[in-house]
Structure 1
Amino acid sequence: MAQNELSTLKRGLLVLELVKKKEGITLAGVMKELHLSKSTAFRFLTTLEEMKYIYKIQTQYFFNRKMFSEETGERSNKDRASLHSIYQVAQSLQMSTYLGKVDGTDLVMTQVIHSPFLNSADEEIGNRSKLHQSALGKVILAHLDERSLASILSKMSLERATKNTFQDSQLFRYHLKSIQEDSYAFDDEERIVGIRCVAVPVFRNKKVVAALAVAAPAEQINRSNIKQIATKLKWGSKAVTKEIETIESIH
């Protein structure tokens, strides 16, 4: 192998190692870290992406761990559930960020991120609560088809978590319709006193599959900033869907 080919291979491996280390890096970041020109960095990243060693979400590149069989077998369900786009939401809003899904009449946490928004709070993954007690659960219920919603509601008992939790089934139905119209849900200390939450649905193939939310002390989330928070969460929801589709498409 010619010397220039060895040099190219070495630089390509350095780019791959950098993407793996950073867990999300832009073209500009690669240029700066490895002192590469824009065209050279772009060529390496594009080649690695085409070979499925890395994948791109918006402007950031991520290491595709599933390409390496020795790592694939060892990865836990928690790792496989980890989505990079959720970190971007958390860092943008500077609030604890959650991803949850339905299991029976419960909401189950699948990803949780707290300040400084760099690592997943794995000890909270798998935590359960009743669907009607939080914005996450309510926004999923509000976007289910009528048959699925009726089936779940028939099995639910509206247990109170705080004095603000919904207990009137008829009023709760009207509340869900309002959430569907707004495309976001607001939890006004309904599960934990002193904590408010805003959530939006996450769709896959036009069906709601999860919910994305942020939570913070009541004074940080109020009527004046809810819509702004919901707008950023909706962007995040689309990014989550795109990331799921991207990951599925390369395997």
Structure 2
Amino acid sequence: MPKTGEKKRIKASKRTLQILDTLMEVGGATGTELAEATGLPKSTVHYHLKTLEDFEYVVNASGEYKPALKFLTIGNGRRAGMDLYRVAKPQVDRLAKETGEMCVLMCEEYGYGFYLYSNSGERGVDFEATGSRKTLHDNALGKAILAYLPQERVDSIIETRGLLENTRHTVTDRQRLMKQLDRIREQGVAFDREEQLEGLCCVAAPITRYVDKERQDVLGSISLAGPASRMEGEYFEDELARLVSDAANMIELEIQDY
């Protein structure tokens, strides 16, 4: 059983991370606002903020605290060490240039999808920043990943993250989502027709790597996205679907050597 001092340190760490997570969500807040949002005493929030400031994890801009740019260094360092990023980046750049559309690379962690890298072509819609965190059920990138995760992992993600409705097109019924995942495994691509954002459609393909002859792990997904007015018919369902599928296959072939 942990000693009292260890319990206190663990509790203190949880409070620090709670404050930091809240600050990340809102982008910037005063100590009073953070106390109200977290339910912690103002004095407690103040001491934790000062500690975070001492270690350069937050900045104090005239009483309003913001996450420090140090997080960019941490994130970029983590990304630079990922095989998926190093192998897939040239393919994302190529697809964006070739199609003129927005191309995005996603990976999954803790039941969320993270935009690992993106590039917008000449007519691309630059709708999200690299590093954005998304749920998986309401977009093609996320569903392409869900389709190739073990079923118990999918169940856990749904239970933990839920099936929240972002637009009137979002799939919030579990049984309907499972049917979509079956279809993705059959077709090899996933579609999102304004499920995450009104007016935006996306087609994505999973990126997998064989662990052995019987099992493959999903590493992430790659997509092309654009306005609903352009993402329709053969261009969307055939041409772009083929391009992302081919790009995913090229990434898979190259990443086997890593």
Preserved CA contact (<8 Å) 1:78 1:125: no
3-state secondary structure, aligned to 1:133: coil
Query: Quick one: distance in 2 between partners of 1:130 and 1:241?
Result: 24
- By how many angstroms is 1:150 displaced? 2.5
Q: C-alpha separation between the residues in 2 aligned to 1:178 and 1:245? A: 26
Cross-structure match for 1:240: 251
- Which residue of structure 2 aligns with residue 91 of structure 1? 97
Say if 1:78 and 1:208 are closer, same or farther in 2 by CA, change over 3 A.
Answer: closer
CA distance in 2, matches of 1:241, 1:183: 13
Q: How does 1:137-148 map to 2 (within 5 A)?
A: 137-148=142-153
- What is the aligned counterpart of 2:189 among 184, 205, 209? 184
Q: 2 CA distance for matches of 1:228 and 1:236?
A: 12
SS in 2 for 1:131: coil
Alpha-carbon distance in 2 for matches of 1:232, 1:148: 29
Gaps of 5+ in 2: 1-75, 211-215
Secondary structure of the corresponding residue to residue 101 of structure 1: strand
Aligned equivalents of 1:199, 1:244: Cα separation in 2: 18
Name stretches of at least 5 consecutive residues in structure 1 with no aligned partner: 1-74
Contact 1:86 1:240 in 2 (8 A): no
What is residue 228 of structure 2 aligned with on the other side?
218
- Give the 5 Å matches for 1:89-168: 89-116=95-122, 124-168=129-173
Q: Is the 8 A contact 2:101 2:122 kept in 1?
A: no
2:177 alignment partner AA: F
Counterparts of 2:79 and 2:230, CA distance in 1: 29
Separation (CA, whole Å) in 2 of partners of 1:198 and 1:109: 15
Moved more, 77-86 or 153-162: 77-86
2:178 to 173, 182, 197: 173
Structure 1 position 93, deviation (Å): 2.0
- Cα offsets for 1:19-47 (capped at 9, x unmatched): xxxxxxxxxxxxxxxxxxxxxxxxxxxxx
Q: CA deviation at 1:199?
A: 0.4
Distance in 1 of aligned mates of 2:142 and 2:132: 13
Aligned residues: 169
Q: Is the Cα contact below 8 Å between 1:204 and 1:241 reproduced in 2?
A: yes
Determine if the alignment matches structure 1 residue 231 to structure 2 residue 231: no
Measured in 1, the distance between the counterparts of 2:105 and 2:193 equals 18
The one-letter code of the counterpart of 2:250 is A
Matched residue, 1:196: 201
Alignment match, 2:53: none
State the shift of 1:78 in Å.
Answer: 4.5
TM-score if structure 2 supplies the norm length? Answer: 0.60
The 8 Å contact of residues 111 and 135 in structure 2, kept in 1 or not, is answered as: yes
